[in-house]
Structure 1
Amino acid sequence: MGAGIARLLSAHNYRVVTNASGRSVATQARCSANNVELLPTDLNLCNQADYILSIVPQRDAVTTAERVIAVSSNRVFAKQQNPLYFLDLNAISPSSARANDELFAKSAPDIRLIDGGIIGGPPNLKDNGTWSRPSVVVSGPNDLRDAQPSGAHLAEVLNVRHINTTVGSASGLKMCFAAINKGFTALALQSLTTAHALGVVDELQQHMTEFSPRLGLQMNGSLPNMPPKAYRWILEMVEIAKTFEEDGGFSRDENLFHPMTEIYRLVTDGTELAREDIWRCRAVDE
């Protein structure tokens, strides 16, 4: 997702920068391949960027915010004319988003946090020269369209939709959407696995085509690409479960997403497919 957004921004004449020091050679090579300029420190990053887009695995969401806050304590932003915007676009629960908002308000009030989530696949350049883009939903009192410089243009390029002024709403919408899509993928995995054990996969596929063609297409489209990403979906299921309990009012016993966490853990730890390198596979396909 981050690579796709970097390509989209670069194609619209934005300078895209990151600090990938300490990351793998493969990660740094992907940055270069996607027109992302490498900076040596977080301080350089925050001094040169107008907007920081945090798009990381859930386990790194808080750490990424804390890295930016740690740099802001040096008050290096005070000389800048425009405030730094931090777009938290990670797949986290509303309570996690609210906790990050409180962290910024307490420790880095000069940085303007925007709660957000990305719904849909990565940006992709189509054959006709236009871009397919996900929906970037955002919420909270800070509106990217009011930001300087170029906030309104950036919001248009990223397909940003500001849904309301409440921190946590955008993250919650992302959680609810992901619950349906990735919850369905987990159900489809169990169903097809059981059908295989019973020797009725072909019959199941035939009946899905006949009676539920749209679900059949979704099932066959989502499963092949899931295993290499399953490790990231484990914590996403945890965040969805938190959302449904804390904001949806469901008890732990009523929550479907604790066992779904274990399904994706099984795929991650118990299958060879999960150990495929999605970037290597993508390069071979191309």
Structure 2
Amino acid sequence: MPNPLTIAITAPGQMGAGIGARLTAQGCRVIVPLEDRSQASLDRARRAGMVHAGWDELGQADMILSIVSPEYAERTAERVAAANPGARAIYAELNAITPERALRIQKIAEGAGLGFTDGGIIGPPPSDSADPVLYLSGPAAAEAAGLRAYGLRTEVLHGPVGEASALKLSYAGITKGLAALGATMMLAAARAGVEEQLMAELGVSQSALAQGFSRSIPGMLPKSGRWVSEMHEIADFIGADFPEHGIYRGVAALYERLFDAHLADGEEAETLRDLVGR
């Protein structure tokens, strides 16, 4: 087994905790700031074997993995950089952000002396049945890819900062966009009273699509609130010069509405669950 590393993770969300658990199982010491975190976050960190560290201690790690909601990515980098001037850790920006935002974060990290790699995570949190891949690009990508020795799948893209982020957003735009498209038309069909006919026809002529919706839509509902900012990042990635960027502004609004419906056991969430058989 390779020498154990100290890895800092910026937040114990589902993905961060999943990666933290995989790393601790491989002998790494995983630290995470836990001040002002919810009880659910504290519980996830404890189950993953992560230990609390202050923001000013993260720079002592070998690597800092930024795993937060996209709208907090720059703020998180600024907080880490301000608290750890002169640190020599590698800062791995693993959030679903635009290449332009990744370049801004590179300047923040390198300005504090940190190494930098741009990254994108494709797949669900690590578990016994899931093994996501971390795509990496930029100056410290090869070093960060060494996490494969500690149980994580890594792939180096031999391009500049922003390449991994572009791949992540392109992939998410298809997978999460497809779930939104299915939900949109199922709800439209329900409002018109033809939802049962729609599902029957999908089952006959588009069986693979119907089976995919039966998996993706129930899983989407509890996650949709977290996906809102990601859809705005995808719209920005496409660019306002292209009319189709508006598709993802609409998807963001849809996901915000569906998350509210999920929390309230509202009619739209119930309709979607009934139609896909969950």
Instruction: Provide, for residues 214-256 of structure 1, a one-character-per-residue CA deviation record: whole Å limited to 9, x for no partner.
Output: 211111111112222112111111100010017xxx4246642
Task: Give the letter aligned to residue 250 of structure 2.
Answer: P
Shift of 1:27: 1.3
Using a 3 Å threshold, how does the CA distance of structure 1 residues 273 and 123 change in structure 2: closer, same or farther? farther
Aligned to 1:57: 69
After superposition, where does 1:21-100 map in structure 2 within 5 Å?
21-39=35-53, 41-47=54-60, 49-73=61-85, 75=86, 77=87, 83-100=88-105
- Number of equivalences: 251
Q: 1: distance between equivalents of 2:80 and 2:142? A: 18
Aligned to 1:284: none
**Partner of residue 143 from structure 1, selected from 126, 133, 141:** 141
Q: Secondary structure at the match of 1:103?
A: helix
Task: Give the letter aligned to residue 26 of structure 1.
Answer: A
Q: Which consecutive aligned stretches of 4+ in structure 1 deviate over 4 angstroms post-superposition?
A: none
Q: 1: distance between equivalents of 2:239 and 2:56? A: 38
Aligned to 1:171: 165
Shift of 1:199: 3.1
Q: 1: distance between equivalents of 2:244 and 2:126? A: 38
Deviates more, 1:25-34 or 1:152-161: 152-161
- Please report the TM-score for the alignment, with normalisation by the length of structure 2: 0.83
Task: Give the letter aligned to residue 136 of structure 2.
Answer: V
- Please report the TM-score for the alignment, with normalisation by the length of structure 1: 0.81
Aligned to 2:270: none
Deviates more, 1:113-122 or 1:188-197: 188-197
Instruction: Provide, for residues 24-54 of structure 1, a one-character-per-residue CA deviation record: whole Å limited to 9, x for no partner.
Output: 2221122101211112x1122322x111111
Using a 3 Å threshold, how does the CA distance of structure 1 residues 265 and 66 change in structure 2: closer, same or farther? same
- What's the Cα RMSD here? 2.0
Contact 1:244 1:255 in 2 (8 A): no
Q: Secondary structure at the match of 1:161?
A: strand
Using a 3 Å threshold, how does the CA distance of structure 1 residues 63 and 196 change in structure 2: closer, same or farther? same
After superposition, where does 1:216-231 map in structure 2 within 5 Å?
216-231=210-225
Q: 1: distance between equivalents of 2:250 and 2:98? A: 18
Contact 1:144 1:155 in 2 (8 A): no
Q: 1: distance between equivalents of 2:238 and 2:116? A: 24
Q: 1: distance between equivalents of 2:121 and 2:248? A: 20
Q: 2: distance between equivalents of 1:26 and 1:254? A: 35
Deviates more, 1:193-202 or 1:231-240: 193-202
Q: 1: distance between equivalents of 2:74 and 2:32? A: 17
Contact 2:120 2:165 in 1 (8 A): yes
